[in-house]
Amino acid sequence: MDRRFFIKSSGVALASFGLMNAAPSFLQRTVFGQTRERLTGGRRKTLIAIFQRGAVDGLNMVVPYGESSYYDLRPSIAIPKPAAGNAEAAINLDGFFGLHPSLMPFKSLWDSKRLAIVHAAGSPDNTRSHFDAQDYMESATPGVKSTPDGWLNRYLQSKRDPDNSLFRAVSMTQTTPRVMQGKAPTLAISNLADFTIRAGQNSANVQGGFEAIYDQTVNDVLGGTGKETFEAVNYLKKVNPSQYQPQNGAQYPRTPFGNSLLQIAQLIKAGVGLEIAFTDIGGWDTHVNEGSARGQLGNLLQQFSNGINALYTDLGQRMDDVVILTMSEFGRTVKENGNRGTDHGHANAMFVVGNSVRGGKVYGQWPGLKNDQLYEGRDLALTTDFRDVFAEVARKHLGTPNVQQVFPGYAVNEAKFKGFLA
């Protein structure tokens, strides 16, 4: 995958040296696509999908403090009701729901109606296996393991990219996630700086890369350019982390998650044609000592919200064209366990952030937490299928012409969309 990036990005140089006829056709298409991107300013709709792997406790993340059963079932780990002067209390949203206090960076997004929440959402499949549940969410075919591709890849297949951008779909992960696997080309990049280093800082290194890959004819055509600075190297430098400065006072967490969001912002600002970006953050499997306002969950939520808030702040007006969507494979039990933690549950909460989001509202039907309202007597019941959330993003934000192709085996009905996007 790294070599493929290097080959394609270096192809940009061919145009400036009049070498298009000698280049392979796929490189020619890449050059033309990237040139068009620069001429159009690179503006396009972008989705940033973030997976909270391990099953986040949605009930302590988006707290139903107006539900008395919540406190009855969680004597040790419940988040206190909102109270003036109490930094460990829930942050009031609407008189019934509140945010975990570690999600304070989200409050301004909520107040400005840039943050929407979909609660009691998830998979209709009843598995409590992390592996299966993540697979079903990323393939968007609950209960079906044989699906060959992920729903984001099917989106890419459903809509032609007029720019043939190499960077149309990028996952800031070590390997390509299930949700991005399929026939449409995607990139998995753990660190943009790695590519800059491998491509080299001068044309000799770039030429050396070509010599290792192409036949002697191409090498001969490229001969004599060793002292020139390839446009491809400049192209890479535009997204060089060592040169990048976040805007608007944004401060990303100095963690792998924060770094992945920072680099997504770099790609968006570089105008490289990014349409789908993906990253994940793990550690949410809080069976033991989950904590209440402080502790294991609170620490992760602080990093999570600080990162997303920094991304939103850094992108500024570009958030007009960006939607950030968060997800987790399933929720956790309503009742805390004997280890002051929670076990694998069912429905969960999802965040949607962007300037086109109809925020300041918790969407979805609330099922209640009384014993007879719980799923299998233990979990938050599902009232919103995650495919309806994904489909609304794919249709309204990304503009897929064939939403049914993106979600095979599911009767997508826009009447089921929650309306969190304008």
| Residue 268 domain-assigned (yes or no) | no
Express each pLDDT in 163-179 by its tens digit: 888 889 999 999 999 99
Listed in sequence order, the residues at least 6 apart from 202 whose beta carbon sits closer than 8 Å to its beta carbon are 229, 233
| Residue 227 domain-assigned (yes or no) | no
Strands 98-99 and 62-63: antiparallel
What is the total count of domains within the chain? 1
Angle formed at CA 145 by CA 140 and CA 149, multiple of 5 degrees: 55
- Residue 148 CA to residue 139 CA, distance in Å, equals 8
What is the C-alpha radius of gyration for the chain, rounded to an integer number of angstroms? 23
| Cα distances (Å, whole numbers) of residue 95 to 60, 63, 64, 91, 108 | 16, 11, 9, 10, 17
pLDDT at 15: 33
pLDDT at 270: 86
| Residue 83 domain-assigned (yes or no) | yes
Express each pLDDT in 83-134 by its tens digit: 999 999 999 999 999 999 999 999 999 999 999 999 999 999 999 999 999 9
Question: Residue 391: which pLDDT band, with cuts at 50, 70 and 90?
Answer: very high
Average pLDDT, stretch 379-384? 98
Express each pLDDT in 167-213 by its tens digit: 899 999 999 999 999 999 998 988 887 654 333 333 223 333 333 33
Its domain, for residue 68, covers 42-161+275-416
Whether the Cβ atoms of residue 225 and residue 203 lie closer than 8 Å to each other: yes
- Residue 97 CA to residue 79 CA, distance in Å, equals 11
Question: Residue 238: which pLDDT band, with cuts at 50, 70 and 90?
Answer: low
| Residue 135 domain-assigned (yes or no) | yes
pLDDT at 235: 52
Express each pLDDT in 309-328 by its tens digit: 999 999 999 999 999 999 99
| Residue 290 domain-assigned (yes or no) | yes
Whether the Cβ atoms of residue 162 and residue 42 lie closer than 8 Å to each other: no
| Residue 70 domain-assigned (yes or no) | yes
Strands of 123-160 (E only): list them.
none
| Residue 108 domain-assigned (yes or no) | yes
- Residue 28 CA to residue 23 CA, distance in Å, equals 7
pTM of the full predicted structure? Answer: 0.85
Q: What is the CATH number of the domain that holds 157?
A: 3.40.720
- Residue 126 CA to residue 142 CA, distance in Å, equals 9
| Residue 247 domain-assigned (yes or no) | no
Closest residue by Cα to residue 388 from 357, 363, 354, 418: 418
The residue ranking higher by pLDDT, 2 or 234, is 234
The residue ranking higher by pLDDT, 217 or 270, is 270
Whether the Cβ atoms of residue 261 and residue 251 lie closer than 8 Å to each other: no
Whether the Cβ atoms of residue 303 and residue 255 lie closer than 8 Å to each other: yes
